[in-house]
Amino acid sequence: MQSAWRWLLVISLSASGSQANANDWNMPVGVTDISADIFGLHMTIFWVCVVIGLVVFGAMFYSLFRYRHSKGAKAANFHEHTSVEVLWTAIPVLILVGMAVPATATLKNMYDSSDAELDVMITGQQWRWRYEYLGEDVAFNSNMSTPRTQISGAETRGEHYLLEVDEPLVLPINRKVRFLMTSDDVIHSWWVPDLAVKQDTIPGFINENWVKINEPGIYRGQCTELCGVNHGFMPVVVHAMEEEEFEGWLAKRKEAAAEEAMGVDREWGMEELAERGESVYQAICSSCHQAEGQGSPPAFPALANNQQLIEDVDWHLDKVINGVSGAAMPAFRSTLNPVEIAAVVTYTRNAWGNDTGDVVQPSEVAELIAQ
Amino acid sequence: MSPKLPPQPHVQHSTTAVADGQSHAHPAPPKGILRWLLTTNHKEIGSLYLIFSLTMFFVGGIFALVVRAELFQPGLQLVQPEFFNQMTTMHGLIMVFAAVMPAFTGLANWMIPLQIGAPDMALPRLNNFSFWLLPVAFTLLLSTLLMPGGGPNFGWTFYAPLSTNYAPPSTTFFILSLHLAGISSILGAINIIATILNMRAPGMRLMDMPLFVWTWLITAFLLIAVMPVLAAVITMMLMDINFGTSFFNAAGGGDPVLFQHLFWTFGHPEVYIMILPAFGIVSAIIPTFARKPLFGYASMVYATAAIAFLSFLVWAHHMFVVGMPLVAELFFMYTTMLIAVPTGVKVFNWVTTLFRGSISFESPMLFALAFVVLFTIGGFSGLMLAIAPADFQYHDTYFVVAHFHYVLVPGAIFAIMAGVYYWLPKWTGHYPNERLAQWHFWFSIIGVNLTFFPMHFAGLAGMPRRIPDYALQFADFNLLSSIGAFFFGASQLLFVLGIILCVRGGKKAPAKAWEGAEDLEWTVPCPAPLHTFETPPVFHRTSH
């Protein structure tokens, strides 16, 4: 089995002389029971096709070689044969039934997301993922961390080029985790090949899927549904940990979230807000409004020297908190916390020559969100 | 079934008057461009379709080469993601709606009347209108690339809400152009059905028709059934974009998944619209060059009808990961697997036609044989994709890109090329330069496999579709695909050269240009005169 794949590989890669391992040219077996089942189905149907192909093409090339006009072949005149025709209709039906049985069993299993021990909400957004551990008060955004300089080629590309994020989804192994999946804007699709989970995230819908990971490790995937300009830059990274390690991680995240919530009530200075705001801006806003706030009209308006933005702080806050209906600008009221919103608004009101001198306090933002 | 000839009108335009044998009644055609704008002759309109299609094949091909050039190595070198998305979208739209579909309609225009012994299409003026809608539609579509915000950038499947609330302003023009192309297709299909059902030569029963005519009859019914669904779905988009409705806008209570159900209700039969006439062409060529009647004529007809029927019941296999209920997944998995049965029957019939034949390898035959092998490989990957659990891994990866390019390029397009080489003597009076055609064939077959075979591996290894840049482990496969694409693209210039040389001259062809050819078109001279079968031929039943 492996040797045939290897042989195909040699043909297809001989031009480049590259060293490759199995996962670089075949579906991964993965690290869940489902992914292994799917791999088994994939290889079974593949070999069924190979055998049928050998028989059919064998008969074809035999005929082409044996009955050449140039060798004086005389054509026969037969043109139907009922029993043969019935036979080659019936045999494929039987083969297909043989394939359908295990496929049905696997599919039923994939659809059984009952008795999950942990629920994670996955929200697609142009162009990042948001993960929310339901009932745990832990939520964060996961953005691609590959720098633009690597994409343009100004810097050497790293090992995990385009498949690395600032904050991966952290999951425990050996526990059934249910995913609830939706989207804030267009349709995205969350895929990690090693987990054999691919599910569209659709605005207005909540899809379910689940995973029970057998081995700790870091598993990488990508968005697989065209979702706009940065569709290619929306990786998924899952960090699967031993259960105790995961509990420790979760406790730490809870603590940090509580601390952040306390920060809403205190008075913040311009500098600390602007500093925090810059990192939020680069992670969240710059993919549309660009690194220097220059935007890319008409879809994504410029923020630098935007007169309406400069003159009207309430309008500015409203757009960030509630989004722009019918346009690409999403509502950040639930994606970013009040500190982050206050920080990024303060930053954009004072960067790139906007220089309004405005400072927006997290407490004001919290009040607006509560309204 | 008794033949039904149309009533012979006394006062009619020239093309039907010929049935009275009054060929002297033809007014001289207008000169210059007007001749082509006003023509109602099926042969001239067929040529227009074919020239238009070939032009668009190169336009769509250049878009594909922009994509492949950007994907030559990791990183963004040549184009930005905005333009990359416009190129993938336009490549798909142009190839489907402006290259493959019009090519088949062009072949139908030329060959159906000749194969059934009719003097022309049933509705010649409608025929003219059907064609001239196309240049208008696609000039409009291409012009969106120059509009502010760019052209369509949401993939040829234009899933909402990316194609509605999040689309560039030019989308309204995209909708209008698709409407025009859709009207053209529907009118063309009506014309083909009217011609086939009413204008066959006396004595030709339905089950005597050549398979190209049969497959086109079934295709035309598919077109009439599904093009209105496309029209409906793009009209709903138009309303969502311009009139504040929320068909597909979840925030307004709409349903983005409804878009996909509607689109694929059109889109899946559309896939068969692009392959059934190809089956017909191959079923004409293989018996000719095997010098032996087609094996299983009746089962070929039934298999075509079965595929067409099943094509309405499989649409949601494009949507296995949208979160359908289990029972729907199972239904669409089973129906999709079932399509392999009639498709298999066709392949077995072609192979058995070769068995104990007397086979020669002229260029039409080479393309037809390559079609059988490579289309079957595309069919195998289609069978793999039908396995719903496995599709969770394959869906929206390059494995799918490899699959549908195998059925469309060495499938539909090779069949079109086979048909062109087969019928060029009938159209021009000269054989195509065989040596050039053979070079074209071998370059094409190397190019097509080098381009699309590595995509299987890239997809299985995890490369998603429609991305302008990719992780480093996909670099080798993309490098090979890009080299193959440029090689394939360049070798198509040989095709154009061969056609031009053949129009200008070459070895003279007799009426029956190929030794083993049996159908009615080989009873009229090469080149076929402008008006043929002014008196209906008497049809002699052959061996079907």
Q: Could you tell me the residue range of the domain that residue B309 belongs to?
A: 14-523
pLDDT in tens, A42-93: 999 999 999 999 999 999 999 999 999 999 889 898 888 999 999 999 999 9
> Rounded to whole angstroms, how far apart are CA atoms A307 and A104?
60
More confident residue, A237 or B26: A237
Q: Which of B248, B274, B225 is nearest to B107 (CA)?
A: B274
Locate the chain A residue with the closest alpha carbon to B387.
A103
Determine whether B159 is an active site residue: no
Q: So what's the pLDDT on residue A291?
A: 84
> Rounded to whole angstroms, how far apart are CA atoms A353 and B400?
48
Determine whether B185 is an active site residue: yes
Locate the chain B residue with the closest alpha carbon to A65.
B359
Q: Which of A80, A126, A325 to mutate to test the interface with B (most CBs of B within 10 A)?
A: A80
Token pair listed for B452: 């699309």
Determine whether B465 is an active site residue: yes
**A324 CB near a chain B CB, below 8 Å?**
no
Residue B530 lies in a domain: no
pLDDT at B29 > cutoff 90: no
Q: Give, to the nearest 10 degrees, the angle between helix B256-273 and helix B211-242.
A: 160
- Over residues B373-397, mean pLDDT: 97
pLDDT in tens, A153-179: 889 999 999 999 999 999 999 999 999
Query: In chain A, pLDDT over 90 holds for what percent of residues?
Result: 58
| B369, B409 Cβ separation under 8 angstroms | no
Candidate from A67, A85, A224 with C-beta closest to B299:
A85
Q: So what's the pLDDT on residue B21?
A: 44
| B100, B412 Cβ separation under 8 angstroms | yes
- Over residues B264-268, mean pLDDT: 96
Token pair listed for B1: 């079934």
Q: What is the dihedral of CA A41, A47, A48, A54, to 10 degrees?
A: 170
Residue B543 lies in a domain: no
Candidate from B81, B387, B395 with C-beta closest to A198:
B395
pLDDT at B17 > cutoff 50: no
| One-letter-per-residue 3-state SS of B60-72 | HHHHHHHHHHHCC
> Rounded to whole angstroms, how far apart are CA atoms B484 and B450?
5
Q: So what's the pLDDT on residue A109?
A: 95
- What top-level class would CATH report for the domain A2-69+78-110? mainly alpha
Report the gap between the CA of A291 and the closest CA in chain B (Å): 16
Q: Tell me how far CA of residue B186 lies from CA of B44, B97, B109, B223, B233, in angstroms.
A: 20, 13, 14, 6, 16
Residue with tokens 């806008």: B249
DSSP secondary structure letters along B441-473? HHHHHHHHHHHHHHHHHHHHTTPBSS-SS--GG
Positive or negative torsion for Cα A156, A158, A163, A169: negative
| B509, B425 Cβ separation under 8 angstroms | yes
Determine whether B422 is an active site residue: no
Containing A139, the helix (H) or strand (E) segment is: strand A138-142
- Over residues A315-341, mean pLDDT: 84
Instruction: Return phi, psi of residue A192, to 5°.
Output: -130, 110
pTM of the model: 0.90
ipTM of this predicted structure:
0.90
- The domain tally of chain B equals 1
Q: CB-side exposure of B71: number of CA atoms within 13 Å?
A: 35
Q: So what's the pLDDT on residue B472?
A: 94
What residues does B420 pair with on adjacent strands?
none
| Mean pLDDT score across all residues of chain B | 93
Q: Which of B288, B128, B311 is nearest to B218 (CA)?
A: B311
Contacts of A94 (CB under 8 A, 6+ apart): none
pLDDT in tens, B419-462: 999 999 999 999 999 999 999 999 999 999 999 999 999 999 99
What residues does A124 pair with on adjacent strands?
A129, A183
A235-241 and A217-223 strand pairing: antiparallel
Q: Which of B87, B351, B366, B391 to mutate to test the interface with A (most CBs of A within 10 A)?
A: B351
> Rounded to whole angstroms, how far apart are CA atoms B169 and B164?
10
Candidate from B155, B294, B457 with C-beta closest to A25:
B457
Distance between start and end Cα atoms, chain B? 16
Q: So what's the pLDDT on residue B422?
A: 97
Determine whether B179 is an active site residue: no
| B50, B56 Cβ separation under 8 angstroms | no
Distance between start and end Cα atoms, chain A? 63
Residue B430 DSSP one-character state: B
Q: Collapse the DSSP code of A188 into the 3-class scheme (helix H, G, I; strand E, B; otherwise coil) and give the result.
A: strand
Q: So what's the pLDDT on residue B451?
A: 97
Of the pLDDT bands very low, low, confident and very high (cuts 50, 70, 90), residue B8 is very low
Which residue type, as a one-letter code, is found at position A367?
Answer: E
Q: Which of B355, B350, B341 is nearest to B369 (CA)?
A: B350
pLDDT at A2 > cutoff 80: no
Inter-chain CB proximity B149 and A299 less than 8 Å: yes
Q: So what's the pLDDT on residue B18?
A: 42
Q: So what's the pLDDT on residue A290?
A: 86
- Over residues A192-205, mean pLDDT: 96
Q: CB-side exposure of A214: number of CA atoms within 13 Å?
A: 11
Chain A residues with CB-CB distance to B541 below 8 A? none
Residue B7 DSSP one-character state: P
∠A300-A301-A305 over CA atoms, to 5°? 150
Determine whether B476 is an active site residue: no
> Rounded to whole angstroms, how far apart are CA atoms B81 and A265?
42
The CATH code for residues A266-370 is 1.10.760.10
* Catalytic pick among B132, B264, B272, B522: B272
Q: Which of B489, B271, B453 is nearest to B377 (CA)?
A: B453
> Rounded to whole angstroms, how far apart are CA atoms A91 and B342?
12
pLDDT at B14 > cutoff 60: no
Candidate from A160, A185, A222 with C-beta closest to B166:
A185
- What top-level class would CATH report for the domain A118-261? mainly beta
What residues does A241 pair with on adjacent strands?
A172
- CB count within 10 Å of CB A81 equals 12
A177-183 and A118-125 strand pairing: parallel
Containing A338, the helix (H) or strand (E) segment is: helix A338-350
**A154 CB near a chain B CB, below 8 Å?**
no
pLDDT in tens, A13-39: 443 434 444 468 899 999 999 999 999
> Rounded to whole angstroms, how far apart are CA atoms B191 and B178?
20
Chain A residues with CB-CB distance to B469 below 8 A? 151, 162, 232-233
Q: Which of B513, B499, B457 is nearest to B480 (CA)?
A: B457
* Catalytic pick among B44, B70, B120, B519: B120
Containing A241, the helix (H) or strand (E) segment is: strand A235-241
Residue B531 lies in a domain: no
With 0-12 / 13-18 / 19 or more C-beta atoms within 10 angstroms meaning exposed / middle / buried, residue B383 is buried
Q: Collapse the DSSP code of A142 into the 3-class scheme (helix H, G, I; strand E, B; otherwise coil) and give the result.
A: strand
pLDDT in tens, A355-371: 888 888 988 888 888 87
Candidate from B159, B467, B473 with C-beta closest to A24:
B473
Q: So what's the pLDDT on residue A295?
A: 85
pLDDT in tens, B125-163: 999 999 999 999 999 999 999 998 899 999 999 999 999
Q: Collapse the DSSP code of A172 into the 3-class scheme (helix H, G, I; strand E, B; otherwise coil) and give the result.
A: strand
In chain A, where the domains are located: 2-69+78-110, 118-261, 266-370
pLDDT at B56 > cutoff 60: yes
Query: In chain B, pLDDT over 90 holds for what percent of residues?
Result: 91
CATH of the domain at B59: 1.20.210.10
- Over residues B283-298, mean pLDDT: 96
Instruction: Return phi, psi of residue A142, to 5°.
Output: -125, 110
Positive or negative torsion for Cα B42, B48, B52, B57: positive
| B260, B332 Cβ separation under 8 angstroms | no
Token pair listed for B507: 């070895």
Inter-chain CB proximity B299 and A60 less than 8 Å: no
Residue B278 lies in a domain: yes
Residue B5 lies in a domain: no
> Rounded to whole angstroms, how far apart are CA atoms B333 and B384?
11
Q: Which of A224, A227, A300, A322 to mutate to test the interface with B (most CBs of B within 10 A)?
A: A224
Report the gap between the CA of A338 and the closest CA in chain B (Å): 24
Locate the chain B residue with the closest alpha carbon to A154.
B75
Contacts of B213 (CB under 8 A, 6+ apart): B112, B115, B116, B196, B280
Inter-chain CB proximity B154 and A23 less than 8 Å: no
Which residue type, as a one-letter code, is found at position B184?
Answer: S
Q: So what's the pLDDT on residue A16?
A: 41
**A93 CB near a chain B CB, below 8 Å?**
yes
Cis peptide before B442 (omega within 30 of 0): no
What residues does A239 pair with on adjacent strands?
A170, A218
Q: So what's the pLDDT on residue B330?
A: 97
A169-172 and A118-125 strand pairing: unpaired
Q: Collapse the DSSP code of B5 into the 3-class scheme (helix H, G, I; strand E, B; otherwise coil) and give the result.
A: coil
**A27 CB near a chain B CB, below 8 Å?**
yes
More confident residue, B504 or A307: B504
| A142, A128 Cβ separation under 8 angstroms | yes
pLDDT at B181 > cutoff 80: yes
Chain B residues with CB-CB distance to A104 below 8 A? 330, 333
Q: So what's the pLDDT on residue A308?
A: 87
DSSP secondary structure letters along B352-395? HHHTT--B---HHHHHHHHHHHHHHHHHHHHHHHHSHHHHHHHT
Candidate from A103, A160, A161 with C-beta closest to B387:
A103
Inter-chain CB proximity A79 and B457 less than 8 Å: no
pLDDT in tens, A101-133: 999 999 999 999 999 999 999 999 989 999 999
pLDDT at A315 > cutoff 70: yes
